[in-house]
Amino acid sequence: MIPERTKALLLPVAAVAGLELWARAIDLQSDSLAPPSAIAAALAGAFKDGSILIATRDTLISAFAGLLIGSAIGLALGIALGIFHIFDRLMEVTIEAIRPIPSIALLPIALIALGFGYRMEILIVAFACIWPILILSRAAVGGIEPRLIEVSRALRLSPVDRVRKIIIPAALPRIFLAFRLAAGIALIVAVTVEIAINPIGLGAAIMTAQQALRPDLMLAYLLWIGIVGYLLNAGLVVAQRHLFGRAALVGDAA
């Protein structure tokens, strides 16, 4: 019986080895592909001269800032919509009208309003992050065990206390899950904005590498972006388990 771990690694290891052998065999000269060894070398080089670290920092700053702003707005609105059903019903059409706008469509608006740089990217990321947080935190608040609300009434808690002591803690695990989802979206949107037009961060770096006809560097950045995304998600999963234990993983799809 091959252990599951080994099985999981078999395909990627075989793919990498296969690509390396093939590239060597045909003496690959291409603008779009490079042997894994060259990719690794380019990655190491980018670390050495620090360029990849600067790019990573820029992307993560924009992503996190946008994530925090979007989450704050989405959370506030989501909780409000979850608690006050009247508010929820009145806002239905407005939310359903704005939500489907793809965040990337705001790119030109942000561009002419704020020009290139951090701010326009943060704005777009924030817009993209509002919706998953809003929808999921609204559902989280709406899904709170009604018994708990009754308890809060019996204890005669003030509205603020009720939100602080009962509603937020009860909804927190699902809200954190929404946050994890939004974090992934934040990274994706940030990189996309950089690839489309913004001259900062990992997206810009990968585009520059392509334009400079350096497929090894380009693919190195691609690999690195994947690693960053994976580590971000994995880190948040660890945090989730740590903060909420097994109770929070109920209903977790990923």
Partner 1 sequence: MNRSVLYWRAASFIVAAGFVAFWQIIASLRLVSPVFLPGPDRAWASLLRGFASGDLWEKLQGTLAHMAYGWFVASIAGIALGAMIGSSRMMRSYVAPSLEFLRPLPVSAIIPVAIAMFGLTQGMALFVIAFGAIWPMLLATIHGFAAVEPRLYEVARSLHMSRTAVIFKIALPSASPDILSGMRLSLTVALILSVVCEILAGLDGLGHWVLLSARAFRSADLFAGVILLGVIGYLTALVMSVAEKRLLRWRSSGH
Residues of this chain that bind partner 1 (CB under 8 A): 4, 7-12, 31-32, 89-94, 96-109, 111-113, 184, 187-188, 191-192, 195-197, 203, 206-207, 209-210, 213, 215, 218-219, 221-222, 225-226, 229-230, 232-233, 254
In the complex with partner 1, the residue whose CB is nearer, 143 or 169, is 143
CB of 112 to partner 1, least distance (A): 5
Measured CA to CA, the distance from residue 113 to residue 109 in angstroms comes to 6
State the minimum distance, in angstroms, from the CB of residue 194 to partner 1. Answer: 9
Nearer to partner 1, 141 or 189 (CB): 189
Q: Which is nearer to partner 1, 75 or 110 (CB)?
A: 110
Which CB atom, from 83 or from 185, has the smaller least distance to partner 1? 185
Instruction: Fill in the DSSP letter of residue 31.
Output: S
Q: Kindly tell me which of 21 and 109 has the beta carbon lying closer to partner 1.
A: 109
- Taking each helix axis from N to C terminus, what angle separates 168-196 and 215-248, rounded to the nearest 10 degrees? 170
Residue 246 CB, shortest distance to partner 1, in Å, is 20
Could you tell me the two tokens for 227? Answer: 């690693």
CA distances (Å), origin 30, targets 21, 23, 26, 107, 213: 16, 10, 11, 33, 9
User: What's the distance, CA 233 to chain centroid?
Assistant: 8
Q: Is 229 exposed, middle or buried (0-12, 13-18, 19+ CB in 10 A)?
A: middle
Rounded to whole angstroms, the Cα distance separating 20 from 13 reads 11
- Least distance (Å) from partner 1 to the CB of residue 226? 4
Kindly state the smallest distance separating residue 152's Cβ from partner 1, in Å. 27
